[in-house]
Structure 1
Amino acid sequence: MNEDQIHVVIQSTLDRAVKTGQFETGQLEAELFVRVTCENCGNTFYLAELLDERSCSCQST
C-alpha cells in the first residue's frame, strides 16, 4: 500500500466516523507524518526534522 492509498483509507474512515456521529467534530483532514529512528543512537525524528537537522546524536551517515 502506498502513501496515497493509506491517506485515502484513513480519510474515508474519519469521514465515515464523523458522518455516523462517532466523532463530534467539524470536517477532519487526515495528515501523514513519517518518523525515522537511527539504529545506532536511537534518536527518533519526524522526517521533516531530520531533513532540517541533517544529523543525529551519533552523526552517522
Structure 2
Amino acid sequence: MTPHELETILTEIGLSNSALARHVNRSEGNVRQWRKGVSKIPDDVAEWLREYHYFFQKNPPPQRKG
C-alpha cells in the first residue's frame, strides 16, 4: 500500500490517525510515518484497511433524514 492509497482510504472512511492507530494496535507516530512515506505500511495493516474500505463502500453508514 502506498501513502497515497492510505490517505485516500482514511479520507473516504473518515478515520483519523489516532483512530487507525487504536484499531491496528500501533502508535500515532507509526501512522504519521506511513502517511508521509517515511516507513512502510505493514502488510497486515494494509490488508485490514483494504478489507475495511471494501466493507465500508458496500455498507455505508445510514444517512441522516430531515
TM-score normalised per structure 2? 0.23
Mark the structure with the bigger radius of gyration.
Answer: 1
Higher RCO structure, 1 or 2 (CA under 8 Å, sep 6+):
2
Name the one with the larger strand percent.
1
TM-score normalised per structure 1? 0.24
